[in-house]
Amino acid sequence: MKNHIKVNGQIRQTNKKWSHLRQQQRERISNWLRWEYTKFVQVNHRRPKRYEHDEILSEVMDRIEEREIWIPYGEVKRYYLSKIGKWFQKTESERETQTPSNEEQHTLEK
Q: Global pTM?
A: 0.76
Nearest to 17 by CA among 69, 63, 71, 67: 71
pLDDT at 107 over 70: no
Q: Which helix (H) or strand (E) holds 73?
A: helix 73-98
Apex 25 CA angle, 32 and 72, nearest 5 = 80
pLDDT digits (tens, 9 = 90+) for 39-67: 999 899 899 999 999 999 999 999 999 99
**Separation between Cα atoms, residue 42 and residue 55, nearest integer Å:** 16
Amino acid residing at 94:
E
DSSP state of 46: S
